[in-house]
Structure formats: structure tokens, C-alpha cells
Structure 1
Amino acid sequence: MLQQISARVSEVSEFLMKGTDPRLKGYLLMGSPGNMSAILVTYIFFVLVAGPRFMANRKPFQLKEVMIVYNFTMVAMSIFIVYEFLMSGWATTYTWKCDPVDYSDSPQGLRMVRVAWLFLFSKFIELLDTVFFVLRKKPGQITFLHVFHHSFMPCTWWWGISFAPGGMGSFHAMVNSVVHIIMYFYYGLSAAGPRFQKFLWWKKYMTAIQLVQFVLVSLHVTQYYFMDSCDYQIPLFIHLIWMYGTFFFVLFSNFWYQAYIKGKRLPKLEASPNSRANGTTGAKASVSITNGISNGSSHRENGHVGKPKNY
């Protein structure tokens, strides 16, 4: 029975891998969807089952220094990813309209493949956001939205770059990396302590930045539906990106309305920048839910009050 199931899974995997970009052979995790799936299943199991059990009778780990290094490392990686996306097409040959995938072995085509893979790889690194929540015993910050986003993005992007590394469909990855520069920089400063509080005056714009991201992504792919013709090779990805951008825009807009218009999620003190990562409650937690992935240390832990994180 197990052999039959294994054989069937192998057949399905081989069928799905037909047509994938051969230029990705040799890249870490790109051999088959099995490795990617195993990581994500392990992630979900650890976050929801194994991790909480492991920490049940233990004190929270103090990870302030780790958080500082982690956040600023992600800033550096995001800056590099944005630069590579620009140099691979968006600031050179792309029209910002209907840009097909370059499947050639040209230097620019191969450069786009590399940065598309690096963006995917960064999504697996970001799984540590939730791992830090578990180790610091912040279960209130591990929301459905957070876990869904962190597991959904690596999976969809794995298939995305397997068939279409670059072109019109890579715009949202570049925009997302720009947002991550801002977000991880914010939380790096937040984790560094109260002496950096004066540099965090722009915390109230975090949710607005997220909303702008989803508007830009949705508007960019919406062009596709009004073009007389577009030779982007795999339209399915355009539809998925449009749905993804619209879905999260609605979620973030609802948060904005509840928190800032109705004021239901605002606490007496201002919400902390690393709310989800910080494990704070009330509006702090709500702010970070909106931002999907936060990881720095709490402003309260650092001696002051602070706010959210990202997608």
C-alpha cells in the first residue's frame, strides 16, 4: 500500500515538474516540491504543536541580541533583493506593463532567475519570525493570518519561480522587498532599546505602507485585464497575484477601519512596534496581526511603549 502511494506521489510530482524552468536545476530546494513541502509542514507542526509543548514548562528565551542581528540582516538582504530586481529588468528593460519572462541564458535573464530564487529563499528564512514567537512564549501573536501568510507565500512562490522566474509576475516580489526594508529596519531599531525611540516617530505609518503595497500590486496586475494583448507566458500567476493583493488589502483595510476609525483596537497606551513579535496584548497584538510578520523585541521590554510588522 505504501509503495503504491509513494509511486503515485512520484508520478504526480514528475507530471507537475514537467515544464519547469531548467535554469533552476541545482538551486537549493528547487529539485522537487517535496523538500519545500516538508519544510512548511514541519514549520506548521512546530508552531502549532511541538513548539508550544516544548516551551510549556520552560521560561521564555531572551533573544534581544538575536532579534537585532536577525532584523538588520533581513534589511540588508531585502536591499540586495530590490537592487537585483531593478538591475534584472525593472530598471533596465522592463516596461512596467506587460513584461514577459526572459527564458534565455542571457546574463540578465540568469540574473533574474537568481534574484527570484533569493526572494523565495528569504521567505523560508522569515519562518523564523514565528519560531521566535514560540521560543519567547508569545502565543497570542501566532494568529491564523500570520501562519497562513508565512506558509502560503513560500509555497506559491516556489511554484511561481519554477515556471516563471521574472517578468510581470515579479513586480509584487520587488514591492514586498521594499516594504521589508522599512519594516525590518523599524523592528531592528525597536529591538535595540529605548534610546532609539526618538527615531521611531513613523511607526503610525506602518499599516499605511502595507496598504500602499497591496494597492500597487493590485493596480499593476489589473493592467493585464485591460490590454488588447499580452504575451506574459503564464496568466494563471497574474490572476493569483491579483487575488492575493486584493485579499490582503481587504484584511488590512478592515484593520485600519477598526483600529483608527472606530478605535476599537487602540489601547490607552500606543501600540508597540514589535507587537506581534513582542507578544503584547490588546491593540498591540492587533497592530501586528495586521502586519503579518513581526519579530523584534517589545518596546515595553526595552523600557518604553511602542508598535507593528510586515508582509
Structure 2
Amino acid sequence: MLYFYTKLVDLLDTIFFVLRKKSSQITFLHVYHHIVVSLLCWASVAWCPQTVILEVFCLLNSIVHTVMYFYYLLAALGTTIQSYIQWCKPYITGLQLVQFVLFLMYAFYCIILEDMANYPLIYKWFGALQPIVFLIMFSKFFIKSYSKSKSN
């Protein structure tokens, strides 16, 4: 339940973007990702709250978000620090991509090899397909954001 609440807090990103007049950061990827993850968390809490699958997802995603928000904290300290940490942005996105690959492998492992009879069918497949969607969307973001800097 606590993890679900953290996903709702993540939605505050959008509010902060609006308040800072950074509407260019409110992309389809941003909105889709936050809404779908919040819905999947709610469904997990409602339908099958005590599962190893949820615990693995929460652990991996929490590690990625800890790294990401630590970067945001450092970046918020000013332009001097930003110049020292700018290099790690592609690595943070890369970490997110690795996370989605691990989620995808684990989701299909659970569906194919584990007994998941207590899960609603739509939840199993929607949850298993989301890492594919996120992998595609974040890969496009990665290419768009970081391949330009190499060509300039």
C-alpha cells in the first residue's frame, strides 16, 4: 500500500512541471507512464496484494526512483552542480530501460512457469505487456534525447 501511495506522489511531477512552466516535459510518455503505473499498483493492491511479483517490481522500481530522485535533488542545488552531474542523465534512462527488460522477463516467467491462477487474466497480460510499451517509449526518448548530443 505504501508503494501505491508513492506512485500517487510521483504524479506530483506533473504539477511541478506546470508550476515551473515546463510544459515541454509533460509528454505522452510522462503522463501515460505515471497513470498506468498508478493503475497497475491500485489493481495489485486490490486484487492480489501479497505476491512476490509485486514485491520484485516494487524493489526494482524503488531502486531506480531512488537514483533518479537523488539526481533531481543534486540538480536542484544549482547550475554549478548540474554541470558536474549532467553526464549521468543517459545512464539513468539506461537504468530505466534495464529495469523494463527485467520486468518483461520476470512477467513472462511468472505467466509461463509460475502458477498464477489467482490473478485475473486481463491483469496478467496487461501487466506483462506494459514493460514492452515502456521499453519502446523510453527507448524512443533515449534516442531522441541523447543521440542528438553526439551528432552536434
TM (norm. structure 1) is 0.43
CA distance 1:156–1:138, change in 2 (3 Å): same
1:149-208, CA deviations, whole angstroms, 9 ceiling, x for partnerless residues?
222222232122111113133122221111000000001001111343435542331221
Change (3 A) 1:137 1:257: closer
Structure-1 residue corresponding to 2:125: 239
- SS of corresponding position for 2:96: helix
Q: State the 1:210 CA deviation.
A: 1.0
Take 1:158 and 1:180, find their aligned partners in 2: how far apart are those partners?
18
Q: Does 1:174 align with 2:44?
A: no
| 2:86 is the counterpart of 1:203 | no
The residue type paired with residue 134 of structure 1 is V
Q: 1:106-255 to 2 correspondence within 5 Å?
A: 117-170=1-54, 171-196=56-81, 197-199=83-85, 201-227=87-113, 230-231=115-116, 233-236=118-121, 237-255=123-141
SS at the partner of 1:192? Answer: coil
TM-score normalized with structure 2 length: 0.83
Q: How does 1:34-53 map to 2 (within 5 A)?
A: none
| Partner AA of 1:161 in structure 2 | V
Q: Aligned in 2, Cα 1:232/1:177: closer, same or farther, shift over 3 Å?
A: farther
Over the matched positions of the two proteins, sequence identity in percent amounts to 36
Match 1:266 to one of 131, 139, 149: 149
Matched residue of 2:149: which SS?
coil
Q: Which runs of 4+ in 1 moved over 4 A?
A: none
CA-CA distance at 1:123 after TM superposition: 1.3
Q: 1:231 to 1:155 in 2, by over 3 A?
A: closer
Secondary structure of the 1:266 match is: helix
Q: Cα 1:193–1:204, aligned 2, differ >3 Å: closer, same or farther?
A: same
Equivalent position amino acid for 1:192 in 2? L
CA contact (8 A) 1:168 1:232 kept: no
8 Å Cα contact 1:211-1:249 kept in structure 2: yes
Cα distance in 1, alignment partners of residues 67 and 31 from structure 2: 21
Taking only aligned residues, the RMSD between alpha carbons, in angstroms, comes to 2.4
Between Structure 1 and Structure 2, whose CA radius of gyration is higher?
1
Write the distance in 2 (CA, Å) between the matches of 1:232 and 1:177: 27
* Structure (1/2) with the larger helix percentage: 2
Q: Give the total of aligned pairs.
A: 149
